[in-house]
Structure 1
Amino acid sequence: MKLTLKEMNDLLNGKCLPSDLIVGETLAEYLVRKFSDLEQKLAVSQREFRAADATIENLEAKCAALAAELSAFERICNEAVFITDEHYEQCPPEVRKMIRSLVVLKIPSYQAFMAEVRARELDSLAGVAETMLVKFSNQRCSSDMHEVVGWKMVHQQASNRAAQLRKGVQS
């Protein structure tokens, strides 16, 4: 039930009654019942939110673990690329085929995940810079002050680099 301000005033002044008022129920009892219902709905929503938050944390942990595993795999792939021609020629054909596959292997979802992790860290740095700029502004510091100029540069560079990382993944 959604009430306008006028309807609420009329209700409180006794000029109208809500349609879901139970027979014999006073206005105070009605309001207590409605607030109790809302409180229960809020409690349910909070439980669902906590459950969703826990699920997100679990998924983020799994992503981080997967990224760590893929990072190790990527290192191995990068090392395989540096096998010298002499050693490459001595390898059996099956191994050479695997090495060729490793050289061109791309893992886009891993690369996108790592780019997002790096971009988030830069976003955090930009947030710190923004906080510092707000503090300087609240103190009415000159915008030409070295510290202010420095924090502006940090904010701009971190924001730009985060955007570049995200854009690089999309390309």
Structure 2
Amino acid sequence: MNVYEMEGFLRGKCLPGDLLVGESNAAYLVRKLNESATLKADRDAQQKRADALAVENAALKESAADLRRQAFNGRRNSHNCGPFKYSDLCESIIESTKVETPATDAALAAIEARGVEKFAAWASEQESMARGAGDKKEARIYCQVEARAKHFAIKLREAK
């Protein structure tokens, strides 16, 4: 809603398209303010996740730069100090690439969980259709599928 629409609403000249049937103007404004507060909280949570991912990304980039330095030094030192030891280089590669990324893991788990939740919603729709058609057995099956999918989505989000 822009300023022009808000003025018309407050003066009683027009109604917003998302006004619920039987909803007072005050209730509508409270609902809209609550929605904006919820959106702000969601935005802040998304920003925190993005910041955590950026920190992890920086750590991964530093790890890669360290790996390149070690490989270069190993190659350079092999000319000056006798035979090149691949095992030492491999050990340094393994150690420098051990970077934990909990925020990335959580973000990926949330993405996977959203997919499973969409599957649960589909199963719920199928259950409703089966109940409408009078097929109780199929409705029970879809109900169980939905419950298990929701449980699995919760487990995905909790995974560390």
- TM-score with structure 1 length normalisation? 0.46
- TM-score with structure 2 length normalisation? 0.48
